[in-house]
Amino acid sequence: MSNAPAWPLGHRLSQPVRTALTVVGGAALMTLAAKVQIPFWPVPMTLHTLAVMLFAVTLGPRVAVSIFLAYLAAGTAGLPVFSGSPERGIGLAYMAGPTGGYLAGYLVASWLVGRLAAGRGTLGRLAAMLAGLLPIYALGVAWLAAFVPAGRLIALGVAPFILGDLIKIAVVAAGCALLPSALARLRGLGE
């Protein structure tokens, strides 16, 4: 007998179907995370980083990367999934804009955090998520350099976001530590 969760009508879903549903649902949640704006200082905060870190820590690198690739594919196809879209553009025009490097950084972080957090406790997951900020900011700032003067890169591309990102990482770490049974169930979706 399969360990797959029962569907409402009693049918069992195969692992590939569960994974596909997880990826599609994750891409939808990623879109929602990008669209949510929380008043914060010095700039409004989205939940993009929180979603990337949560998927990587709970679902592992394969599913987390698949979710982010599905999200990028939806954006490339012209769906307004990105933060600030459609107002700031859609599709490849948006991705080639000032925030394109951060999108690439999120993709790398999805894999890196998932790999580093696998099998780790709270402190290991926290360290993995902190390490995941490095490619996000490195690729984001490197791409942003084509749009802003070098002397303004840290002030515009890192400083306004670091406190919010640290809070989001703390929320994910605390949530995973406080809800270990939910974490185990989510991990089951990624396997």
Residue 4 has pLDDT above 50, yes or no: yes
* Alpha carbons 58 and 51: distance in angstroms, whole number: 10
Q: What is the CATH number of the domain that holds 102?
A: 1.10.1760.20
* Full domain range(s) for residue 115: 15-190
Residue 123 forms part of a structural domain: yes
Residue 10 has pLDDT above 50, yes or no: no
**Cα-Cα-Cα-Cα dihedral sign, residues 126, 53, 131, 133:** negative
115-144 as b/e: b if 16+ CB within 10 A: bbbeeeeeeebbebbbebbebbbebbbebb
The mean pLDDT of 16-23, rounded to a whole number, is 92
Residue 125 forms part of a structural domain: yes
Residue 67 forms part of a structural domain: yes
Q: Which of 4-13, 14-23, 40-49, 61-70 has the highest mean pLDDT?
A: 61-70
Which pLDDT tens digit goes with each residue over 55-92?
A: 999 999 999 999 999 999 999 999 999 998 898 889 99
136: Cβ contacts below 8 Å, ≥ 6 apart: 49, 52, 102, 105, 106, 108, 109, 165
Instruction: Tell me what pLDDT residue 1 has.
Output: 46
* Alpha carbons 22 and 60: distance in angstroms, whole number: 12
* Alpha carbons 89 and 143: distance in angstroms, whole number: 17
Which pLDDT tens digit goes with each residue over 89-123?
A: 899 999 999 999 999 999 999 999 999 999 999 99
Residue whose C-alpha is closest to residue 56's, from 119, 120, 115: 115
Residue 7 forms part of a structural domain: no
